[in-house]
Chains A and B, each alone.
Chain A
Amino acid sequence: MADEGPGRNLRPLTLHVPEPRFRPGDVVDFGDLHLPGAGETRRPPIDSAPADMRELCYQLVRVLDEEGRAVGPWDPKLAPERLLMMLRQMALVRAFDERMYRAQRQGKTSFYLKCTGEEATSVAAAHALHRDDMCFPSYRQQGLLIARDWPLVDMMCQIYSNAGDRLKGRQMPILYSAKEASFFSLSGNLATQCPQAVGWAMASAARGDTRIAAAWCGEGSTAEGDFHSAMTFAAVYRAPVILNVINNQWAISSFSGFAGAEATTFAARAIGYGIAGLRVDGNDALAVHAATEWAAERARNNHGPTLIEHFTYRSEGHSTSDDPARYRAADERSAWPLGDPIERLSGHVTRLGLWDAERQAAMERELAEQVRLAAREAEKQGVLGNGMHQPLSTMFEDVFEEMPWHLKEQARQMREEGEAAGL
């Protein structure tokens, strides 16, 4: 068999391992990134067959042009109050992130994770959904809670795991749960929420309800099997669900190529499953709103699910435990051609004569103060560093509806050991 081994007259195979275009120290140039202009992408009827809108998976729904004008068929034509509210909430998300990031650096909590640069993908989407549509977020959609006016103090108490934490200190910071805001309990396990959202939507449909579901995951998480299962179930049962992929280019240190981005877009995943796919400028709040509204209308009218890829950029590190300077070029953020979602929406309302730089600056000061006061309020109920704020016995509660004997025994053992040790 030796003549069939290495060395026979064949070209050796090579393994392709993706490599991002820019590493630390490289000069960043996104000049060759093909980005359709605002208003160029058509808006199909909401009952379109997925096969009739495939090209949308390779284009980009954009509404705001370089001059801050809203142009083209996707302009959601939102009322001025709505635009200003979205702007305010996106800015509030950023102010909240800044404060909580600092709180982590000050040792008041163990962990935090910002969504800087991605505020539109949650806030603008929330404005296109009904409040009772169930959201199955990932950990970078704090904007959903803020857009639904969830109390900042409540969010912070969770981050501090303090006495006011509705989750009783059981979850890592930012893994919120807020049923009243139709915000599903967050899990650390990636993409698990995708089939769950489809199941929720299927249940709503099976019950003849009118509510729909929406899920969010990052582009990195689309590689999980859960994403495939969710897409399959969504397609098979025409579930009234919107599956959002936030393509922020990075999954911790891995660029999107490791999730398949070198070969195709994430929106194009929809084509193979036979569901509607849209690719959206994720830093354009109006485009995000318009695409979400389109998908929601489609779902509400029993035309089935939609996959939306939000093309955006993770402006900061993955989390407080991450240093992006170790794996990507420092000026990627400033060179990113789709800009900053808050600046772009602010520019738009300014152009409409509703806003100006002075009001923007005043609003940012006001929001920072609002967040500061909320943090002070939350910190009155304790921070992670200064002790355990929940009665110890709560650790054993809610594992089951009723506590079985072995957990009662363990709770007793913990108490007795503590007492014996003089605690």
Chain B
Amino acid sequence: MNMIQAINSALDLLLARDPDIVVMGEDVGYFGGVFRATEGLQKKYGKTRVFDTPITELGIVGVSVGMAAYGLRPVPEIQFADYIYPALDQLVSEAARLRYRSAGEFTAPITVRSPFGGGIFGGQTHSQSPEGIFTHVAGLKTVIPSNPHDAKGLLIAAIEDNDPVIFFEPKRIYNGPFDGHYDRPARAWSGHPEAEVPEGYYRIPLGTARIVREGNDVTILCYGTMVHVATSVVAEKGVDAEVIDLRTLVPLDIETIEASVKKTGRCVVVHEATRTGGFGAELSALVQEHCFHSLEAPVERVTGWDTPYPHSLEWAYFPGPVRLGEALRRVMEE
């Protein structure tokens, strides 16, 4: 399966298992979603389980919170992560705090799915990676898969989780892995080991990272599309790096990170999002706090620049193989 099919499979499976689950969002019903993630679901489960909504992100999330308070388990879609901002108040002030402020009387077990990330010439409003905004919010969980197998298992875990989850889907790798070599022909998921997706039910617990490649010289912390950039660069450069796909940013798998950096003594953090205040800053601080005596070099951050996401200059912005390669060289030279 490709990642779209894996997500569709997760939704299909859970809609069949749990009558409380509803899927909603702009164009998700009859049409099956602008990325086809919800294709066929309305026909199979009916319009009261899978339906189209007005174009109002705050409404989509606000209504989801109310449905959750009733006892349903909504899975709203925000068409692009760049358009999640109108819903911020409902996410930050309401969904994230409902359990806390009501001392558990009311909860918001919603999973907000949203395509995110760049590398598709999406320009300023179809490329953003706003995960750092959500990891900063107490009460929200943030999940980002990097392949079809994880996407299905993590989405099932996210929907079944009783806390609100932001589930960002890297749209650049919906149809195939992308290692940042934009000048090479696009690849499909077929044949990739992580594209082997079971038809049935399985879940990947939130808060568990995956060691994509074991290594001894440097730890690379990444998620989403950047997992593929990292593994590709490591292979090209012949660096014995340990590549860790975080998969869940909150809660974070600190044990896997700590064990790895203590082993390697070096760490590079990679994400597409802008640098200042990004999740990489949190990772860097945690590595420094937990592994200070093991570090042999400063923690490097390879991120998007602190600019809006540009259109024509996309490949100068995107933290691709050249920039990651340079960071690895610097951190190894220390």
A residues contacting B by CB (< 8 A) are 134, 136, 166-168, 170-171, 175, 177-179, 184-185, 187-189, 192, 194-204, 206-207, 213, 225-226, 228-230, 232-233, 236, 398-401, 404-406
Q: How would residues 228 to 271 of chain B score, 1 for a CB under 8 Å from any chain A CB and 0 otherwise?
A: 00000000000000000000001110100000000000000000
Q: Looking across the interface, which residue of chain B has its beta carbon closest to that of A171?
A: B101
Whether the Cβ atoms of A196 and B94 lie closer than 8 Å is: yes
For residue A317, give the distance in angstroms from its CB to the closest CB of chain B: 25
Q: How would residues 37 to 71 of chain B score, 1 for a CB under 8 Å from any chain A CB and 0 otherwise?
A: 00000000000110001101011001111111111
Inter-chain contacts of B254 with A (CB < 8 A):
405-406
Q: How would residues 150 to 192 of chain B score, 1 for a CB under 8 Å from any chain A CB and 0 otherwise?
A: 0000000000011100000000000000000000000000000
Whether the Cβ atoms of A399 and B138 lie closer than 8 Å is: yes
Inter-chain contacts of B138 with A (CB < 8 A):
399
Whether the Cβ atoms of B93 and A187 lie closer than 8 Å is: yes
Whether the Cβ atoms of A206 and B163 lie closer than 8 Å is: no
Of B6-14, B103-111, B196-204, the one touching chain A:
B103-111
Q: A184-B69, A406-B251 are in contact. Are A199 and B104 (CB under 8 A)?
A: no
Q: A187-B94, A406-B251 are in contact. Are A230 and B70 (CB under 8 A)?
A: no
Q: A168-B103, A406-B251 are in contact. Are A206 and B22 (CB under 8 A)?
A: yes
| B100 is an interface residue with CB less than 8 A from chain A | yes
Whether the Cβ atoms of A199 and B65 lie closer than 8 Å is: yes
- Which of A185, A192, A201 is in CB contact (< 8 Å) with B62? A192
Report Cα–Cα, A136/B254, bound state, in Å.
Answer: 39
Whether the Cβ atoms of B103 and A199 lie closer than 8 Å is: no
For this complex, 14 residue pairs linking A to B, each with C-beta atoms less than 8 Å apart, are A177-B101, A177-B102, A177-B105, A192-B94, A196-B66, A196-B69, A198-B62, A199-B65, A226-B90, A233-B53, A233-B56, A404-B207, A406-B251, A406-B254
Whether the Cβ atoms of A179 and B105 lie closer than 8 Å is: yes
Report Cα–Cα, A406/B253, bound state, in Å.
Answer: 10
**10 smallest beta-carbon distances between A and B, as pairs:** A199-B66, A195-B62, A229-B59, A199-B63, A196-B66, A203-B70, A404-B251, A185-B102, A200-B66, A177-B102
Inter-chain contacts of B220 with A (CB < 8 A):
none
Interface size grouping (class) on chain B: 35 or more
Inter-chain contacts of A406 with B (CB < 8 A):
251-252, 254
Q: Looking across the interface, which residue of chain B has its beta carbon closest to that of A195?
A: B62
- Which of B49, B56, B99 is in CB contact (< 8 Å) with A400? B99
Report Cα–Cα, A134/B139, bound state, in Å.
Answer: 24
For residue B211, give the distance in angstroms from its CB to the closest CB of chain A: 19
Inter-chain contacts of A177 with B (CB < 8 A):
101-103, 105-106
Whether the Cβ atoms of B66 and A202 lie closer than 8 Å is: yes
Whether the Cβ atoms of A195 and B66 lie closer than 8 Å is: yes
Inter-chain contacts of B67 with A (CB < 8 A):
199-200, 202-203
Whether the Cβ atoms of A401 and B102 lie closer than 8 Å is: no
- Which of A134, A178, A398 has the most chain B CB atoms inside 10 A of its CB? A398
| B141 is an interface residue with CB less than 8 A from chain A | yes
For residue B321, give the distance in angstroms from its CB to the closest CB of chain A: 33
Report Cα–Cα, A166/B102, bound state, in Å.
Answer: 8
Whether the Cβ atoms of A192 and B89 lie closer than 8 Å is: yes
Q: Looking across the interface, which residue of chain A has its beta carbon closest to that of B61?
A: A195
B residues contacting A by CB (< 8 A) are 22, 48-49, 53-54, 56, 58-59, 62-72, 74, 86, 89-90, 93-94, 97-107, 138-139, 141, 161-163, 207, 250-252, 254
Whether the Cβ atoms of B70 and A195 lie closer than 8 Å is: no
Given A229-B58, A232-B56, A400-B141, 19 other A-B residues pairs in contact with their CB atoms under 8 A: A177-B102, A177-B106, A184-B69, A185-B101, A187-B101, A189-B93, A192-B90, A195-B58, A199-B65, A201-B66, A202-B66, A213-B66, A225-B86, A229-B56, A229-B63, A233-B54, A399-B138, A399-B139, A401-B162
Q: Looking across the interface, which residue of chain B has its beta carbon closest to that of A203?
A: B70
Report Cα–Cα, A136/B90, bound state, in Å.
Answer: 15
Report Cα–Cα, A298/B259, bound state, in Å.
Answer: 62
Inter-chain contacts of A400 with B (CB < 8 A):
99, 139, 141, 163, 251
Inter-chain contacts of A188 with B (CB < 8 A):
93
Whether the Cβ atoms of B70 and A200 lie closer than 8 Å is: yes
Q: Looking across the interface, which residue of chain B has its beta carbon closest to that of A179?
A: B105
Inter-chain contacts of A198 with B (CB < 8 A):
62-63, 66
Report Cα–Cα, A170/B104, bound state, in Å.
Answer: 12
For residue B49, give the distance in angstroms from its CB to the closest CB of chain A: 8
Inter-chain contacts of B107 with A (CB < 8 A):
401
Whether the Cβ atoms of B251 and A405 lie closer than 8 Å is: yes
Whether the Cβ atoms of A195 and B63 lie closer than 8 Å is: yes
For residue B104, give the distance in angstroms from its CB to the closest CB of chain A: 5
Whether the Cβ atoms of A195 and B22 lie closer than 8 Å is: no
